Chain A
Amino acid sequence: MEDSEKKSEAHVSDEDLIERFQQGDTNAYELIVKRYKDQLLNFVFRFLANEEEAEDVVQETFLRVYRNRFAYTRVAKFSTWIYTIAGNLARTELRRRKRRRLFSLSNMGVEDRDYEISDEVFNPEAHVDSALQEEIIQREISKLSPKFREVIILRDVQELSYEEISKIIRVPIGTVKSRVNRARLRLQNRLKSLLEQRKK
């Protein structure tokens, strides 16, 4: 009985769930949380490169969904709406972090500024394990400007369509495509040694 209920719930669309939640069904909200918590965390984590901060942003996203549930209308896809909220919050967090860094840099010695190492100096070992590879990729993603970072994560990590990305970040599809292409070109240029290992 419970299994069949779970199966039927799995087929309920996000839009139906939020509508049920708008009518007062808190179980529908819990289902939304279960459906989106990990994929949103992946998106925000790749954007901020900090798991704890990312989890806080995802919590805040769900809190906003709870608070502003009546602001959602069926005109847009629910996923677009929730990704827009998460993206905006992640960008805000990034700006906040930059302000904090600017403040702390003034009290820091040159030797402490490890994230300012130039790309030329960085030369990864010939054989790196997957954890290290991930770290290298993540570090290079973090070096992209937020507008490039966001689109490449949404397209290549989250595998969203250009159309949906265009709605999430509210820019034309052509601009999204151009940004994705430029972000990829920059990344492949910075990750040459790692990507060429794969070729061999």
Chain B
Amino acid sequence: MNTCESFAESFSDYVENTVHPEQRQMLDAHLSRCPSCQDTVTRLSHLRTHLRTLPAVKTSPDFETMLRTRIMLERRKSHVLPFVPRVARGPRVAVYALAGLMTVLAMGVLVSGRNRSNTITRQMQNEALNISSVDQYFPSSPIQPTKISYPLDKVSPGYLHKHKQRNAAHERAARPDSLAEKSTHHLGQQLKTSSF
């Protein structure tokens, strides 16, 4: 009455030894008479061994580093890359995008560091044009300042004090080894030598 097909439904239980004792007896009886089903059961048993012993694959050495980077990106995603389309947010793409962004930022800081030193000097130069003693700070300046004279008797002592302080500040800032020059130069050197 039972066909090979219906017995086959229990073959997995049979090879795993989880079949009920009564059903096992029936299966044993059928297998002893049916070489085709006997072969199938043997192959099923070999298949399980093959599958269990398939070589295990291991994650790449940079797996955890990549994951940390992705978590970091995840935290900053809304702030740093709100404009990146979803299609570009692939796992590896994201890491490369971060690396690229950092490089661009570093180059930007370097360039702006150089420009900044110029900007400060120009700005100071422009401001310095408003004071009469500009020549002593920029003797080679091609721009000739407008000379403004203040009658001393009409100038208040408070104004004179402020004027002196302002002059001293400009003098410090205009020197080539000023703090502003030093800091931008130092930052530029640091970024040049640092690695990502």
- Name A's B-contacting residues (CB within 8 A): 30, 33, 37-38, 41-42, 45-46, 51, 54-56, 58-60, 62-63, 66-67, 130, 133-134, 137-138, 152, 156-157, 159, 177-178, 180-181, 184-185, 187-188, 191-192, 194-196, 198-199
B1 at the interface (CB under 8 A from A): no
| B137 at interface, CB cutoff 8 A | no
B-to-A contact residues, CB < 8 Å: 8-13, 40, 42-44, 46-52, 54-60, 63-64, 66-67, 70-71, 74, 90-92
Q: Tell me the dominant secondary structure on chain B's binding face.
A: helix
| A19 to B152 Cα, complex, angstroms | 78
Minimum CB distance partner of A183 in chain B: B12
Given A33-B64, A59-B66, A60-B91: A152 touches B51 (CB 8 Å cut-off): yes
Chain A residues in 8 Å Cβ range of B52: 156-157, 159
Within the complex, the shortest CB–CB distance from B94 to chain A, in Å, comes to: 10
Is B60 within 8 A of A188, CB to CB?
A: no
Bound Cα distance A156, B63 (Å): 26
Q: How many A-B residue pairs have CB under 8 A?
A: 99
Question: Closest approach, in angstroms, between the C-beta of B53 and any C-beta of chain A?
Answer: 9
Q: Which residue of A lies closest to B73 (CB)?
A: A63
Complex contact B71–A192 (CB within 8 A):
no
- Within the assembled complex, what's the spacing in Å between the Cα atoms of A58 and B92? 13
Residue of A nearest to B41 (CB): A188
Cβ contacts under 8 Å, A138 to chain B: 54
Would A181 and B11 count as touching, CB distance under 8 A?
yes
A–B pairs, 16, beta carbons within 8 Å: A38-B58, A41-B59, A42-B57, A58-B63, A60-B91, A63-B70, A134-B54, A138-B54, A156-B48, A181-B11, A184-B48, A185-B11, A185-B44, A188-B40, A188-B47, A198-B50
Q: Assess whether B71 is in contact with A187, with CB atoms less than 8 Å apart.
A: no
| Beta-carbon contact of B58 and A41 below 8 Å | yes
A180 near B12 (CB under 8 angstroms)?
A: yes
Do A137 and B54 form a contact, CB below 8 Å, given A58-B59, A60-B91, A192-B43? yes
A20 CB, min distance to chain B CBs, angstroms: 17
Q: Are A195 and B11 in contact (CB under 8 A)?
A: no
Shortest B18–chain A CB gap in Å is 9
Return the contact of B47 from the options A33, A62, A66, A187 (Cβ within 8 A). A187
Residue of A nearest to B48 (CB): A156
Q: Is the CB of B12 within 8 A of A184?
A: yes
Nearest B-chain residue to A199, judged by Cβ: B42
Cross-chain contact A38 with B11 (CB below 8 angstroms): no
CB contacts (< 8 Å) of B44 on chain A: these are: 184-185, 188
Closest Cβ of chain B to A13, distance in Å, is 22
- Cross-chain contact A184 with B58 (CB below 8 angstroms): no
Docked pose: A188 CA to B50 CA in angstroms: 11
